[in-house]
Amino acid sequence: SLSFNLNVKVIFLCLLLFSLGCSEGNIEQASGSTSKAPTSQIHIYSSGTELIDALTVLPRGTQSLVEVCKVKNNSRLWTTFCNSSPPNITSLRQLFAALGVTDESNTSCTTNSVSLVRNGTSVLNPRCIRFSSRSADSDLVAVGFQRDETTLVEIVAKDPLTKKLHFYLGDFELACEQSESGCPKGVFFTEAAESNWARFSLYEDKILRNTALDCTTCHQPGGLNAPKRLIMAEMEFPWTHWFDKGTDCGQSLLEDFNKAHIGESFYAGTALSKFSTLEAFTLDSFIAANGFSGRSNGNNYFDSLQIEIEVNTTAGQPQTNINQSHSDTWTAEYNRRNALLALDVFGGTGFPYRDCKQSDPLKIDHFSQKLIQFNKGQIAIDQLPPLNEVNLSSEQALRERGLMAPTGLTGPALLKRACLACHNNHLDQTISRANFNAQNLAKNTKDQINNAIYRLRMVKSDLWLMPPKHYLDLSEEEVLTLINYLKAFNSSRGHEE
């Protein structure tokens, strides 16, 4: 999703979205691959291509519009950018203005996203959605943004004539990214990240389909002939993880956010003075009014009310998660999602964390204070840490947050969890990503499976690692389990080619 330091931005751009599978492109073994001096006995191969090179195959800036504008549609985004004088986008608010989504009251923010940038969302850098209307809108537009190193903007626009949704991914560059030294990581979490963009690139979902930035794995999981849809995982009261003036969890999250952002005037293009009035119900209304509510559209699968009732029996919840909570309802759905059940309906594996807060109660005061100190001019930008590192990060927490697999999975279960979301029968079978099928191993040749094994053993910084580390971080034991399963499958086929 350049010239900048190897950071989370690059990782998301090469793997995520959205974000959703075993990495992009062809699974054939890269030519000229070499072994690096490994720190691991498992991850020993390198293609010679680092993650920083992920965007070299895509056009940038105004050149990116050539591909976007090749096939006409009547959406507000297409008509805005595909004309003789497309806007030069240099800030988030300018993008909002160009797309006609300037009403700040049509904003909802979540601290636990299931989108492309889900790994980097926190209460200190929430993901905010600005949308065109709370009612049915034949010309709808919605824009998703959060401050972080990915510098991605997700956009959906509807063609009022065909009634079809078109998904786009924007990528902005700060001026410091074009310098030899790159940007301090902290700058992506400040107000400076929302303006003075040096370059803005735009891609429609069609050009991303053969990459791990593919929007359709979640927004069109039923395949090319299925309709695309809008997603809100927690589309029912009390909308756990969303800022909301009318819910206990929403108010507590908003208090944590406001405490840290003292001294700022806006976040995600919305005045901070407006945040106390934000509601999750407004986005809920937008999605429902446009016909995308219900589990058949991949929504409402997080039973907010019942999960909160069960979690809140733990002392301190929802204001603090210092005590380990439990929810049978959450655990059952967590297991379903990790088993990739109903893939053609739900797509992907994204599932929100159990508690109201996924921030670490032992970290949040420290990270909040750092941002306050920066905004007061008391520390330099290079002393401001990436704010999304405030989240819980123990191995158990990473598994429960969906960044690692559940414990104890067998080889077949690990294959589903690590690869099935992007390599299945429902998605486009004409692209090179379909050269590996995780849903039906019998469709693969022995060489294809051997190449998948090779990709599992790439060093963790490599562009071709399967699965990408920031989609799912497999332990070495899990990699071995998966490799042994694939090897056993190949052995069972004898000399079959």
pLDDT score for 88: 97
pTM for the full predicted model: 0.89
Q: Is the pLDDT of residue 36 over 50?
A: no
The sheet carrying 107-110 orders its strands as 107-110, 127-131, 141-145, 152-158, 165-174, 197-204
Note whether residue 446 is domain-resident: no
Confidence of residue 456 (pLDDT cuts 50, 70, 90): very high
pLDDT score for 258: 98
Which residue has 């309802």 as its token pair? 329
Note whether residue 457 is domain-resident: no
pLDDT score for 233: 87
Q: Is the pLDDT of residue 13 over 70?
A: no
Note whether residue 378 is domain-resident: yes
pLDDT score for 29: 37
Q: Is the pLDDT of residue 2 over 60?
A: no
pLDDT score for 223: 86
Note whether residue 414 is domain-resident: no
Buried b (16+ CB within 10 A) or exposed e, 111-136: bbbbbbbbbbbbbbbbbbbbbbbbee
Which of 350-354, 365-369, 424-428: highest mean pLDDT?
A: 365-369
Note whether residue 97 is domain-resident: yes
Q: Is the pLDDT of residue 38 over 80?
A: no
pLDDT average, residue stretch 24-52 = 56
- State which residues form the domain around 198: 8-24+55-400
Question: Model confidence over 277-333: pLDDT tens digits?
Answer: 999 999 999 999 999 988 778 787 899 999 999 999 999 999 999 999 999 999 999
Q: Is the pLDDT of residue 46 over 50?
A: yes
Confidence of residue 97 (pLDDT cuts 50, 70, 90): very high
Note whether residue 109 is domain-resident: yes
Q: In this predicted structure, which of 64-78, 130-144, 220-234, 379-393 has the lowest mean pLDDT?
A: 220-234
Question: Model confidence over 366-395: pLDDT tens digits?
Answer: 999 999 999 999 999 999 999 999 999 999
Note whether residue 297 is domain-resident: yes
Confidence of residue 50 (pLDDT cuts 50, 70, 90): low
Note whether residue 440 is domain-resident: no
Question: In the chain, pLDDT over 70 holds for what percent of residues?
Answer: 89
Total domains, the chain: 1
Which of 20-34, 139-153, 424-438: highest mean pLDDT?
A: 139-153
pLDDT score for 496: 53
pLDDT score for 53: 56
pLDDT score for 460: 85
Question: Model confidence over 174-214: pLDDT tens digits?
Answer: 999 989 899 999 999 999 999 999 999 999 999 888 877 78
| 296 vs 450, more confident | 450
Which of 22-26, 211-215, 449-453: highest mean pLDDT?
A: 449-453
pLDDT score for 37: 46
